[in-house]
Structure 1
Amino acid sequence: MRFCSRAGALVAAALFCATALLGGCAVDETGEPPPSDALYFPVGVAAHPDGRYLYIVNGVFDRKYNEGTLTVLDTYERRLLTGATQRIGLFGGELLVARRSGESAVEAFTVTRDDNRLFSFEVTADAATPDGTGHFGCGGRRCGVPYDTFGGDGFSGDPYGLAFDGVNLLISHLERGVVSRWERGGGVGSLVFGCAVNLTNGASSLARHPVLGWAYVTDRFGQQIQVVEPVALVEQALSGAVNRDSCRFQGQSGITVDPFTNRGRTRGLGFSADGTLLYVASNTDSSLRIYDTSVDSNGRPRNDLVAAVPVGNAPNVVRVAGLRGGEVRVPDGLDRGLVGDAVDTKGQGLVYLTAFDDDRVMVVDPTTRTVIARIDVGMAPHDIAFMPDVDGNLRGFVSNFQEHSVSVIDLEPGSPRRFQVLATVP
């Protein structure tokens, strides 16, 4: 999608700026408290690892309300759990819901750009009442209260993209093109700052190479995919000097998406589960670019372009469903639970790409490098999450940004309605 500055001209709510997702355009209103029973400019979505519950960040990009929300959809009953709704900041970014390997706790992380904050929640769905009250435990903190703030002490604001390896959380910051790493603190949902790096070409979304752990970051304004490697530091005990940060980022060779000066703006990206393929949404030429990112004998990714698959206008978020034939997932420190097992078994490694301006989800087969389905959903689709339904059939859940809804798609292999919308919530 196109970009506009958060400090740009004010517009009426009816003339909503379609670039708000990354630029933050909005009307300047004080607003009223947000409802607990509605979706409003939904952006990030994520599934509970044990299934049933879908988590949705509502960005409130027109400032009709004075806060955004994190809402919970019971996908079995297709209703929002009003008692579970948590208030967060405006202009929400991506959302992660994950469980670390060997642990029982489920954690949720999201960021908001209007107030430059990181939110964390402990998910305690089993302890909740039927209306969702108690769905979030928040590790002893009152739910809805952020514990980390960006923008101070020269640190970049505008947090947006997230990637998690079970120990460390990587965050991209749009404002000054920064990637930061946050490490596990003292308890569930607790993170402490590790290190950060300024990128030359700005930042949009990011993804972690499954094998190397390097961060691949799309360029907000140009044609580069920047690559940085987190490096652990050793305290200099003999000299008495101690590093302020626990790690640092080391730049690696990036990828030029398009050699032409005014081409190649990139948006979402994602890796295959084995780390051998990288999928990148190239907004300017409306394609899904596929790169060979397998690791060579020198321990470096090849980063070679192997295909550019034409897709719809304004390709946006990229999500990969499960495993290709014969593919083996690289362990990443996460327990993916029932959902992960179902997606790996039935997802076939297909790549799902939201086409924001076309109101569609495009499905790409990375083996044949072709679009195998074009799914009409709601207005301005943004993110997509995968989860089995109550009968074990694979479903996709798409946040429709301008329609304030979620589309439910049949993704079950062999189903006569595969790649069709089954329902729209609410």
Structure 2
Amino acid sequence: MGLGLALAAGACTASSEEVRPPADQLFFPTGLAASPDESLLFVMSANSELRYDSGTVQVIDLATVDETIDAWLTSGERPTGCERDLTLPGILDCDEARFFIAGAGVRTGNFGANLAVQDLGGGNLRLVVPVRGDPSVTWIDWSAADRKLSCSSDSGFQLCDDAHRLTRMRGDDSLPQVVSEPFGVYVDSTAEVAMVTHLTSGTVTLVDLPPDGPPVLADVIGGLFASDPTTGARGATAVAGRTPGGLMYVTSRTENRVQTFAVSRPGGADALPLLLAGDYFFLSRVGTNAGQSSDTRGIAFGAGGDRAYMMNREPPSLALVDTSDDGLGFPRNEVTGATDLCREASGLAVADVGDGERAYVSCFQDGEVYVIDPRGGVEVEDIATIGRGPFSVVASPTRRRLYVSNFFENTVAVVDLTPGAPTQNRVVLRIGLPEDQ
């Protein structure tokens, strides 16, 4: 609707149906998360231009994705709703509804950026979603039997209710509200907790995730990181766990310190967990001068937790950190190397699809994914053209695919990772028709 028409219609109020988001479309997709068995991909649509009254989380069936790709690559088959990409003919663009599990999605608050998955057993899952627009930490259950998400007692395209939006510490109205700008999230299914970072403050929040009960905002620690001396800004950004049930690592957007945390339940297994701040270290070998590095937006660990990958925006680089045991029961936490990256790196995934471990970094500004080989030195092995505004990246080692949300074109790009294939490290499918086509 043009601005003049919108003003002329100012006396009219849109109905709830008119502003309800579509159940079969992506709009400003951000966070991605795969199920533990790599059969499902959960996609957050952030509703970043506030066209609708809420964001959404949709569920993609990855078996259907593979079937479509296999038919396209072997015989050039184009199913109904799919077309050859206009600029890169080797890519198939398909309407996203083809891959959504019908009736499985839910509606959430606006400006969700990330999501993570808790394994409840038996194929049942729980999503933990930091929502910046509320603000809240929203939780959503996946039923393996019903093959759908649920965050309300309502039927149909549910809007997550207040019980599924965690906004008060320990659910107590006398305690503080959740800190603003919840951003990054990591779920530890073994420890039954999640940690959430807050983008505009040096704060982290711990969420208790009992498998047989509702989650609770259990603990919070603020003032972790120094403020930027020029702007006064501070913030906690990325979070990841070294091993299930082990230490969690948190980074900042305003300094080069990496803080570790452990989780304790001093009152027993059924008591609320508490955060214990542990050792910290600096990314001192990243940047021209010691201590120059800042704005670390991503962390991922290699298999076994002996190596961490840390994605920086200032300077644009990917650092390797030796996190192996030092013989005394502590991780070494020593930077062993780094390589240059694109500007505005936004997402990081690490996987071994059969040819050794690789890191995959999405480049929001440049529309690319960098493929980085850590073996024998840290080198950029390949650069893949992805789309407009690539944000989150999720790797599927068993399917040999990489999934990338394209924020500005409302798609999820699927990259073939098969070693030695003609299409290795190239987009073969876009889930969603790019907006400019």
- Which one of the candidate residues 35, 39, 42 is aligned to 2:22? 35
Name 2:421's counterpart in structure 1: 415
Cα–Cα, structure 1 residues 103 and 79, in superposed 2: closer, same or farther, change >3 Å? closer
Looking at structure 1, the residues matched to 140 and 154 of structure 2 have their Cα atoms a distance apart, in angstroms, of: 9
* Local SS of the residue matching 1:84: coil
Name 1:187's counterpart in structure 2: 212
Name 1:44's counterpart in structure 2: 31
- Which one of the candidate residues 156, 159, 176 is aligned to 2:179? 156
Looking at structure 1, the residues matched to 374 and 254 of structure 2 have their Cα atoms a distance apart, in angstroms, of: 27
Looking at structure 2, the residues matched to 313 and 256 of structure 1 have their Cα atoms a distance apart, in angstroms, of: 18
Which amino acid counterpart does residue 374 of structure 1 have in structure 2?
Answer: I
Q: Say whether residues 1:253 and 2:277 are aligned partners.
A: no
Looking at structure 1, the residues matched to 101 and 167 of structure 2 have their Cα atoms a distance apart, in angstroms, of: 28
Name 1:354's counterpart in structure 2: 362
Looking at structure 2, the residues matched to 224 and 173 of structure 1 have their Cα atoms a distance apart, in angstroms, of: 16
* Local SS of the residue matching 1:136: strand
Q: Say whether residues 1:404 and 2:423 are aligned partners.
A: no
Conserved? CA contact 1:387–1:394, under 8 Å: yes
Deviation at 1:165, TM superposition (A): 1.6
Looking at structure 1, the residues matched to 51 and 210 of structure 2 have their Cα atoms a distance apart, in angstroms, of: 35
- Which one of the candidate residues 165, 174, 195 is aligned to 2:188? 165
* Local SS of the residue matching 2:294: coil
Conserved? CA contact 1:172–1:179, under 8 Å: yes
Which amino acid counterpart does residue 148 of structure 1 have in structure 2?
Answer: L
* Local SS of the residue matching 2:103: helix
Instruction: For residues 382-410 of structure 1, give each alpha carbon's deviation from its aligned partner in whole angstroms, at most 9, with x where no partner exists.
Output: 1112337xxx7421110011111111110
Q: Unaligned 5+ residue runs, structure 1?
A: 1-11, 13-29, 129-134, 236-243, 323-342
Which amino acid counterpart does residue 42 of structure 2 have in structure 1?
Answer: Y
Which amino acid counterpart does residue 253 of structure 2 have in structure 1?
Answer: R
Which amino acid counterpart does residue 191 of structure 1 have in structure 2?
Answer: P
Q: Say whether residues 1:233 and 2:266 are aligned partners.
A: yes
Cα–Cα, structure 1 residues 155 and 393, in superposed 2: closer, same or farther, change >3 Å? closer
* Local SS of the residue matching 1:274: helix
Which amino acid counterpart does residue 181 of structure 1 have in structure 2?
Answer: L
Deviation at 1:246, TM superposition (A): 3.8
Query: TM-score scaled by structure 1?
Result: 0.76
Which amino acid counterpart does residue 160 of structure 1 have in structure 2?
Answer: F
Deviation at 1:34, TM superposition (A): 1.5
Cα–Cα, structure 1 residues 385 and 252, in superposed 2: closer, same or farther, change >3 Å? same
* Local SS of the residue matching 1:252: strand
Name 1:58's counterpart in structure 2: 45
Name 1:18's counterpart in structure 2: none
Name 1:382's counterpart in structure 2: 391
Q: Say whether residues 1:120 and 2:139 are aligned partners.
A: yes
- Which one of the candidate residues 102, 105, 130 is aligned to 1:111? 130
- Which one of the candidate residues 114, 118, 132 is aligned to 1:94? 114
Deviates more, 1:77-86 or 1:350-359: 77-86
Deviation at 1:157, TM superposition (A): 2.4
Cα–Cα, structure 1 residues 172 and 197, in superposed 2: closer, same or farther, change >3 Å? same
Cα–Cα, structure 1 residues 150 and 159, in superposed 2: closer, same or farther, change >3 Å? farther
Cα–Cα, structure 1 residues 150 and 256, in superposed 2: closer, same or farther, change >3 Å? farther
Deviation at 1:371, TM superposition (A): 1.2
Instruction: For residues 187-242 of structure 1, give each alpha carbon's deviation from its aligned partner in whole angstroms, at most 9, with x where no partner exists.
Output: 26x3223322111333011111217722211112232222233333248xxxxxxx
Conserved? CA contact 1:122–1:138, under 8 Å: yes
Give 1 or 2 for the bigger CA radius of gyration: 2
How many residues align? The count is 358
Cα–Cα, structure 1 residues 178 and 420, in superposed 2: closer, same or farther, change >3 Å? same
Name 2:374's counterpart in structure 1: 366
Looking at structure 2, the residues matched to 126 and 234 of structure 1 have their Cα atoms a distance apart, in angstroms, of: 35
Looking at structure 1, the residues matched to 106 and 151 of structure 2 have their Cα atoms a distance apart, in angstroms, of: 11
Instruction: For residues 96-119 of structure 1, give each alpha carbon's deviation from its aligned partner in whole angstroms, at most 9, with x where no partner exists.
Output: 23424x644222221211101122
Cα–Cα, structure 1 residues 64 and 214, in superposed 2: closer, same or farther, change >3 Å? same
Q: Structure 2 matches for 1:256-295, cutoff 5 A? A: 256-257=283-284, 258=286, 263-295=293-325
Looking at structure 2, the residues matched to 113 and 299 of structure 1 have their Cα atoms a distance apart, in angstroms, of: 37
Looking at structure 2, the residues matched to 312 and 184 of structure 1 have their Cα atoms a distance apart, in angstroms, of: 36
Name 1:20's counterpart in structure 2: none
Conserved? CA contact 2:30–2:405, under 8 Å: yes
* Local SS of the residue matching 2:149: coil
Which amino acid counterpart does residue 281 of structure 2 have in structure 1?
Answer: G
Which amino acid counterpart does residue 243 of structure 2 have in structure 1?
Answer: P
Conserved? CA contact 1:107–1:120, under 8 Å: yes
* Local SS of the residue matching 2:48: coil
- Which one of the candidate residues 313, 333, 348 is aligned to 1:303? 333
Looking at structure 2, the residues matched to 34 and 85 of structure 1 have their Cα atoms a distance apart, in angstroms, of: 11
Looking at structure 1, the residues matched to 47 and 359 of structure 2 have their Cα atoms a distance apart, in angstroms, of: 28
Conserved? CA contact 2:253–2:294, under 8 Å: no
Which amino acid counterpart does residue 423 of structure 1 have in structure 2?
Answer: L
Name 2:246's counterpart in structure 1: 213
Looking at structure 1, the residues matched to 202 and 154 of structure 2 have their Cα atoms a distance apart, in angstroms, of: 30
Instruction: For residues 137-162 of structure 1, give each alpha carbon's deviation from its aligned partner in whole angstroms, at most 9, with x where no partner exists.
Output: 45978752224115861542221111
Looking at structure 2, the residues matched to 51 and 186 of structure 1 have their Cα atoms a distance apart, in angstroms, of: 21
Looking at structure 1, the residues matched to 274 and 418 of structure 2 have their Cα atoms a distance apart, in angstroms, of: 43
- Which one of the candidate residues 338, 341, 349 is aligned to 1:319? 349
Name 2:229's counterpart in structure 1: none
Deviates more, 1:143-152 or 1:105-114: 143-152
Deviation at 1:422, TM superposition (A): 0.3
